[in-house]
Chain A
Amino acid sequence: MATTAAELPLDERLSRIWETRPGLLGALSSVDHKTIGKRYLVTAFVFLILGGVEALVMRVQLAHGALGILSPEEYDQLFTMHGVTMLFLYASPILSGFSNYLWPLMLGSRDMAYPRMNALSYWVFLLSGIFLYSSFLVGHAPDGGWFAYAPLTEELFSPGVDLDFYALGLTFLGISTTVGAVNFIVTLARTRAPGMSLNRLPIFMYGTLTVSVSILFAMPPLTVACIFLFFDRQFGTHFYQAAFGGSPMLWQHLFWIFGHPWVYIVVLPAMGMVSDIIPTFCRRPLVGYTFVALATVSTGLLGFGVWVHHMFATGLPTMTLSFFSAASTIITIPSAVAVFAWLATIWYGRPWFTASFLFMAGFVVLFVIGGVSGVMTAAVPFDWQLTDSYFVVAHLHYVLAGINVFPVIGGIYYWFPKMSGRMLSERLGKWNFWTMFVGLNVLFFPMHILGMLGMPRRVYTYPVGLGWDTWNLVETIGAFLFAVGVLLFIINVAWSRAFGDRAGVNPWNAPSLEWSIPSPPPVYNVAVIPTVASRHPLWEPELIGEQKSRIHEGPTLTDGRETMATTTLDAQPLAVLRMPGDSYWPLLLALSLAAFFYGALLGWWWLIGVGAAATFVSITGWLWPEPPAEEA
């Protein structure tokens, strides 16, 4: 300890080691997980707003039958980009933002295992989002639906660059997702504070860990599907063309082998946040921690065995249908376990009605509504009626808006004090909750009814006189109410950032490690690497009568950017890990990849070549070793 010559205090020394250079150039090179996490959150939120505006425009068009506000071309682009934006550019990245920001703080670590890859995954996310949205600039956004069924998306039926943006954009984004997943897995395996064994992790981390492992196996089928599609469109291959021995069903299998795990990928971390936040506000540990952790992992696993339930109406054999119907039914049980764990925690706790808690409690209802409508679609004969009708639109929006957006907004209410050092307004927060909760139900619940009234999805208009108009108008009103709720949230964040009450270290009296350090956290996160002795380090005095975890004493690691490496299962100290500093290579690599993908889009071979060469140079430069001189 204290090997630096300076007589500076510890926090000063650590700050000097970990600080990013000021200014734009410094910002572009930063690998600080907190900076990257906040960038992820803000960028993903911007995409949420873009996707939301797209939805509002569509809701205006659908407010009544036979309106002509949008042309079919415009509507098709809007609903496709709405889906692509919400599922790929919002739902998963926003959770990556939380995980990026919070994991090292929860783990008592100074950064993620691969800080530079963390920066890379953000830059690639940003650039692939820009890539996808640049399609609007040329007036040719993807228009084949977010699951882009071939052969509609083949060049014969969709000429132009629309679907090339889609195929290449998702392949590009997949790099970010995969790199991020690898980072989370290794961070969890290597950089937990000593003593933080696997049974002491917050459930949120189980959620992110599960989805990270899922991503390793779930992104490749999407990448394969998109590459095949791109090759079919540009190089004349025949993967999805029945006339040449290909099969449109191949796309559906590949897409849904990716797609269903993806649904869990965008909800499991959010459910984990709920499992951690409800106990804080109920003043007691989660009921059935082990069950909920196992439920999270098993949902991720079972998620790979249910993809065919998106294809019940494609004419598959009855045996196949029964099998996947059974699998889709069984996957309900882990979710039911989680629901009753939350209910019991509330029942046996002492609820503290903060805005954040309201979002969590409201979430439980939305979760169950989205869950039971899912079970209904698992029943094959009834699914033949439900699928591709508005009922499914209702179901998937309860899942995504209910199970993702609600925990996310509630999570911001919970962690914003930590990130900014200021509290969000509780009063505005309660208005925010009720507008969003009522808005969401007014918006999405009638969609169940419309589905049952026979309204198909993805229609840019519908005939008047089928009893659909009134419900559609109600939905449009609900959509704007929901939008007002989101606006209240933005106002709250903007106002509180400047004028909110000071937060202090642990405003909610929460149990996990991120609440043991100042708000906002210093660049180095923790002045000393803590040693953890229980699942709730900050609740030990109240739960077991003494503080067993050592929060404020331990190794300081001031010889450079260092953090503690521990063993995978029980987190015993293993080594001191040297961490890389700020770097421009991640940004350069991301730009190189962007050049490559734009080259492929435009068919400019020279640009593809430049992109590939720059990619090679960036990776080589990134990995170039330091001379080993001082090692002796």
Chain B
Amino acid sequence: MSGAGDVGPVPSGGERGGYELRVTSYELTILRLVTRNSYFVTRLRKLLIGAAAALLLAGCAESPTYMTSSGAAGSREAALGWTLTIISCAVVALVAVLLVWGLARRRESGTGVSEGREGVSWIYYGGVLMPIVVLLFAFTYSTVTLTGLHHPPGEPKVHVEVIGHRWWWEMKYLDGAPEGVFYTANELHIPVGVPVHLDLRSADVIHSFWVPKLAGKTDLAPGSENSMWIEAKEPGVYLGECAEFCGLQHAHMQFRVVAESPRQYAAWLADQRAPARVPSEPDEKRGEQVFANAPCAGCHTIRGTDAEGKVGPDLTHVGSRLTLGAGILPNTPGHMAGWIASSQAIKPGSYMPTIYLKPAELQTLVSYLQSLR
């Protein structure tokens, strides 16, 4: 499985990763940065080989196209979209035929200028009547769709606040008792077949919430209280993107929507509400110490520990997530180490600083974070 935005199988339990892998100059930069440690060189070599394999598979991957939709709203938008596309192609074809025919048709010879009264009816029929008929149809269809999408098909059972940050997404699950409210990042889990209400907020500039396979986009702007609803009709992992230019790393502000069965969703919810898992292995325990001593806790929260930073994503269950760095790297130990050690090479300008750690420290830190399922 290599598609990021496609309707892939829902990852279960321990099988994770395998989202898009990228052979990039970043990886080479990482390589250079951590050459000192042969452990990492080996890891990265393996990774590069894996990435090359993934590239070969990439051709088969599906795009997050909205012309075929897995969402309740997206399907109606796609139906409208296909209708408009077909009408548009027909109009272009008509004009092209009339033009080419008009250019090529035989005429009586002569080069003089002459005035004919003919032709004005073209304007009546082609320029006025035809557009009125076509546009009236298109506008009616579009308006019916618009009003139909105003309300979700049923009462939303799930309420999430999506907060756009430069350059990552924060999801705040609002349902249940106040103590059950929790934050996660760059990943929106929703139950299939249920409308989900999203409150869209921005922490800084304007972003736009877009899951092409599920629904059209809506902006998150400071000072406005937008909301939208989405509903996935089929289980799967869907690529989400920021669609409003928001600065340097606009290109790397992605997320995943994981649509799963209500039972799986309930289990996920229960897991996420729990505080962070207490480390058991010695490596993980040392990693926890590293986390506490490094600047990490200044920005990140791990519920159940002293780390209560509010700048970056909540890491309470970071080990359970599919991706890192706002949807751009698969969440594997190797990528996580690379991300921590050279975030500025991977995502230049992001607010995650490059953290300078001894290789052994980095390794234990990754072990700890990966254990936070």
Contacts and interface: CB of A to CB of B under 8 A. Distances in A.
Given A346-B102, A384-B218, A452-B66, A458 B245 contact: yes
B58 to A, nearest CB: 3
A454 B71 CA distance: 15
A388 B243 contact: yes
Interface stretch (B84-92, B168-176, B189-197, B261-269): B84-92
A344 B221 contact: no
Interface stretch (B132-140, B153-161, B297-305, B353-361): B132-140
A68 B245 contact: no
A543 B142 contact: no
Nearest to B61: A465
Nearest to B141: A379
Interface in A381-414: 381-389
B138 A454 contact: no
Given A68-B25, A76-B248, A542 B147 contact: no
B26 interface: yes
B135 A347 contact: no
A338 B127 contact: yes
B216 A152 contact: no
A209 to B, nearest CB: 21
Nearest to A367: B95
Nearest to B204: A157
Contacts of A246: 223
Nearest to B130: A336
B4 interface: yes
A457 B250 CA distance: 10
Given A346-B99, A464-B55, A466-B5, A318 B63 contact: no
Interface stretch (B34-42, B104-112, B332-340): B104-112
A283 B112 contact: yes
A459 interface: yes
Contact of B85 (A151, A376, A459): A376
Nearest to A244: B223
Contacts of A336: 126-128, 130-131
Interface string A61-81: 000011110011100100000
B245 A149 contact: yes
Given A313-B208, A539-B113, A333 B99 contact: no
A356 B231 CA distance: 53
Given A247-B223, A329-B135, A542-B112, A343 B122 contact: yes
A452 B66 CA distance: 6
Interface in A67-115: 67-68, 71-73, 76
B139 A348 contact: no
Interface in A333-374: 333, 336-341, 343-348, 350-353, 361, 364-365, 368-369, 372-373
A503 to B, nearest CB: 18
B250 A459 contact: yes
Nearest to A465: B58
Interface string A462-482: 111111110000000000000
A361 B127 CA distance: 17
B95 A337 contact: no
Given A368-B92, A454-B241, A466 B63 contact: yes
A385 B77 contact: yes
B85 to A, nearest CB: 7
Contacts of A539: 113
A509 B111 CA distance: 10
Interface stretch (A197-205, A285-293, A570-578, A621-629): A285-293
Contacts of B120: 287-288, 291, 344
Contact of B63 (A325, A333, A383, A454): A454
A321 interface: yes
Given A149-B206, A347-B119, A539-B113, A381 B76 contact: yes
B205 interface: yes
B217 A313 contact: yes
B348 interface: yes
Contacts of B221: 242, 248-249, 314-315
A284 B114 contact: yes
Contacts of B61: 465-467
Interface in A525-550: 539, 542-543
B185 interface: no
How big is chain A's contact interface, by range?
A: 35 or more
A385 B81 contact: yes
Nearest to A311: B219
A388 B5 contact: no
B99 A389 contact: no
B113 A509 contact: yes
B243 A456 contact: yes
A613 B83 CA distance: 61
Contacts of B251: 72, 458-462
B99 A364 contact: yes
A467 B143 CA distance: 32
B371 interface: no
A460 B116 CA distance: 54
B249 interface: yes
Contacts of B226: 314-315
B291 interface: no
B127 A341 contact: yes
B2 interface: yes
A589 to B, nearest CB: 37
A372 B88 contact: yes
Given A66-B24, A283-B111, A340-B127, A152 B247 contact: yes
B149 interface: yes
A375 B84 contact: yes
A232 to B, nearest CB: 13
Contacts of B227: 315
A453 interface: yes
A380 interface: yes
Contact of B113 (A332, A457, A542): A542
A6 interface: no
B351 to A, nearest CB: 12
Contacts of B3: 465-466
Contacts of B126: 336, 339-340, 343
B20 A332 contact: no
Contacts of B95: 339, 343, 364-365, 368
B96 to A, nearest CB: 6
A375 B87 CA distance: 10
Nearest to A75: B251
A322 interface: yes
Interface in B191-231: 200, 204-206, 208, 210, 212-213, 215-219, 221-224, 226-227
B65 A452 contact: yes
B32 interface: no
24 contacts: A66-B23, A66-B25, A247-B223, A313-B219, A318-B150, A322-B146, A332-B135, A339-B126, A340-B125, A341-B122, A343-B99, A344-B119, A346-B99, A347-B98, A347-B119, A350-B111, A351-B102, A368-B91, A376-B84, A376-B85, A379-B145, A381-B142, A465-B59, A469-B58
7 nearest interchain CB pairs? A384-B216, A242-B223, A465-B58, A315-B226, A454-B64, A344-B119, A459-B251
Interface of A: 65-68, 71-73, 76, 144-145, 149, 151-152, 157-158, 242-243, 246-249, 283-285, 287-288, 291, 313-315, 318, 321-322, 325-326, 329-330, 332-333, 336-341, 343-348, 350-353, 361, 364-365, 368-369, 372-373, 375-376, 378-389, 452-454, 456-469, 509, 511, 539, 542-543
Given A68-B24, A343-B126, 10 more contacts: A288-B120, A332-B135, A346-B99, A361-B99, A453-B65, A454-B213, A456-B210, A463-B22, A464-B58, A542-B113
Interface of B: 2-5, 20, 22-26, 54-55, 57-59, 61-67, 73-74, 76-78, 80-81, 84-85, 87-88, 91-92, 95-96, 98-99, 101-103, 105, 107, 110-116, 118-120, 122-123, 125-128, 130-132, 135, 138-139, 141-143, 145-147, 149-150, 166, 200, 204-206, 208, 210, 212-213, 215-219, 221-224, 226-227, 239, 241-251, 328, 348-349
